[in-house]
Amino acid sequence: GAVVSQHPSRVICKSGTSVKIECRSLDFQATTMFWYRQFPKQSLMLMATSNEGSKATYEQGVEKDKFLINHASLTLSTLTVTSAHPEDSSFYICSARASMYEQYFGPGTRLTVT
Amino acid sequence: AQSVTQLGSHVSVSEGALVLLRCNYSSSVPPYLFWYVQYPNQGLQLLLKYTSAATLVKGINGFEAEFKKSETSFHLTKPSAHMSDAAEYFCAVSFGNTDKLIFGTGTRLQVFP
């Protein structure tokens, strides 16, 4: 099946710094990728839809200036958490759209802000 | 508004017993429904999906689900649980011509020997 990778798998950063998370579709091209956030023992919440070559579409309540998304190629989307704070600590998961109603999920990135 | 409700945040079964995980949806348009499994500290893996074809959908690892429009349900079943089935299971709905997924709150399945 299709494979999506995320890097890094874990990251610890200090409050006030920025962190970049990469999401790559390894064996298919994805014009659309999605970014989710998952708090411990909770469900996934869609943060934004990333479209190659255009601006991301953010869900209501998600700060676009804090969570910068860049989808510069058909296989790579990045999420940058700017000026991270402890409340941004979470599990971030991306997915890549292979075809209609067919998404493949990355393994997730655990962000801890100290 | 579209939504998904998973009844039971925890389900425990004995190895070899029937697995039944419940999912009900709310949608004003024909839904597309999905079940995903998540193992600890990992991403999600698609078990099966309903996209308006056959109402009984068979997935991986022996799981299946039946779309019942009259009951607005899409329950996940497996005849005989294995220890390796222990994980978190998420039901999700998509609708219209978007791929945006709305997830339920998840059900943690425990399998006892």
pLDDT at B1: 73
Pairwise CA distance, residues B96 & B38, whole Å? 26
Any CB–CB contact under 8 A between A57 and chain B?
A: no
Residue A1 pLDDT exceeds 90: no
Any CB–CB contact under 8 A between A5 and chain B?
A: no
Give A-chain residues touching B36 at CB under 8 angstroms: 105
Question: Do B43 and A106 meet the contact criterion of CB atoms below 8 Å apart?
Answer: yes
B70: helix, strand or coil: helix
Give A-chain residues touching B34 at CB under 8 angstroms: 101
- Report pLDDT digits (tens) over B31-86: 899 999 999 878 899 999 998 778 999 999 999 999 999 999 999 999 999 999 99
Average pLDDT for A94-99: 92
Pairwise CA distance, residues A26 & B1, whole Å? 35
